[in-house]
Amino acid sequence: MRITLKNLKRDYGSLHAVQDVSLSIPDNTIYGIIGRSGAGKSTLVRLVSMLEKPDAGEVWYDDERVDGLEGKDLISRRRRIGMIFQNFNLFSSRDAAGNIAYPMEICGMDKEHIKARVDELLGLVGLEGRGNAPISTLSGGQKQRVAIARALACKPDILFCDEATSALDPQTTRSILALIKELQAKMNLTVVMITHQMEVVRDACERVAVLDAGRVVEEGMVSDVFANPRSEVTKDFLSNLTNVKDSIVRWSTEGGRFTLRFRGGTTDEPIISIISNEIGAVFNIRAAGVQEVGGEELGVMVTDIGPDEQHVRIALEMLKKHGVSVEGE
């Protein structure tokens, strides 16, 4: 299912939570929407998932306009959508199987079918035989697996994930993202992944939109956006990522004014040597490594450039001419 948003707006009093958002989310993919806290991500997802009506603008699922749906049409359309959240939103009064069964009971599916489907879903999310487990006995990762199984119970076309991994540790986050990727491919889902974590975008998404103060400030293939971030917000997200990424080794705790990112063909040329020979610039490399982004490998180098500002300026120009993206100017 392809999702198209046209000039969406939502105000809360004088606060413009979502301002003029237009996006095209392709079918059968994992699409990331990243932004800081308060950027308007959850508001946007409520508009797109028909939980709330926009003040202006349009939401389309394929060729059907859905933002004005009411009554029965709204209910039947919403059944084709799954959602998961940071805090899981599970019923603590029901066990794992009871939670997964819930949406199917609402749809009026018969007991036999529900039971078979619950077992199938438990298997799909890696919780075989855990149907009787009370929710309170499950770990965060297991709770999110139950929530995913529940979201997928009625075979939706779209899965919305609002900060689905934000309450989980890094290792559990990776396993949940791997599960979502696997299920996306298996069920041809359109997954909309809302997050404030660049790691989530890097590890799971194909395309990404960056939201800031209710507006889309950047949009594109994850590999392009990582290689060549344009907005300040995106650069900020990326610089945090560089600091925590374990395949980037920092051997000097000081310095490192510029972050250079090399992609594809640029990694085959000895660009640093060329620049240093041609203009006599000196590079003091503080950290380096590889980031895998959207299935593409980017070389990353954190460096100082000398001996003076004039050399810095010419060196940066040459780097850019060779297709290297530069951050920190």
Ligand X SMILES: Nc1ncnc2c1ncn2[C@@H]1O[C@H](COP(=O)(O)OP(=O)(O)O)[C@@H](O)[C@H]1O
Burial class (CB in 10 A: 0-12, 13-18, 19+), 190: buried
In the complex, the smallest distance separating the C-beta of residue 102 from ligand X, rounded to whole angstroms, is 25
In the complex, the smallest distance separating the C-beta of residue 39 from Mg ion, rounded to whole angstroms, is 8
Pick what 75 binds: ligand X, Mg ion, none; C-beta below 5 to 8 Å, kind-dependent. Answer: none
Torsion of CA 20, 26, 30, 32, to 10 degrees: -20
Out of 5, 34, 42, 272, point to the residue binding Mg ion (CB under 5 A): 42
Query: What letter represents residue 76's amino acid?
Result: S
41 interacts with ligand X by CB under 6 A: yes
Residue 150: strand, helix, or coil: helix
Q: Which is nearer to Mg ion, 37 or 93 (CB)?
A: 37
Cα(76)–Cα(317) distance, integer angstroms: 56
39 interacts with ligand X by CB under 6 A: yes
Residue closest to 108 by CA, chosen among 74, 76, 63, 68: 76
Q: Which is nearer to Mg ion, 41 or 263 (CB)?
A: 41
Out of 3, 32, 40, 199, point to the residue binding ligand X (CB under 6 A): 40
Contact set for ligand X, span 4-33 (CB under 6 A)? 12, 15, 17
Q: Interacting stretch for Mg ion, rule CB under 5 A, among 40-48, 95-103, 143-151, 280-288?
A: 40-48
Pick what 12 binds: Mg ion, ligand X, none; C-beta below 5 to 8 Å, kind-dependent. Answer: ligand X
Pick what 168 binds: ligand X, Mg ion, none; C-beta below 5 to 8 Å, kind-dependent. Answer: none
Q: Which helix (H) or strand (E) holds 186?
A: helix 170-187
User: 132: Cβ–Cβ under 8 A, 6 or more apart, which residues?
Assistant: 95, 96, 97
Q: Which helix (H) or strand (E) holds 200?
A: helix 198-204
Cα(173)–Cα(215) distance, integer angstroms: 27
Q: Which is nearer to ligand X, 43 or 228 (CB)?
A: 43
In the complex, the smallest distance separating the C-beta of residue 325 from ligand X, rounded to whole angstroms, is 27
In the complex, the smallest distance separating the C-beta of residue 5 from ligand X, rounded to whole angstroms, is 15
- Residues lying near Mg ion in the complex (CB under 5 A) are found at 41-42
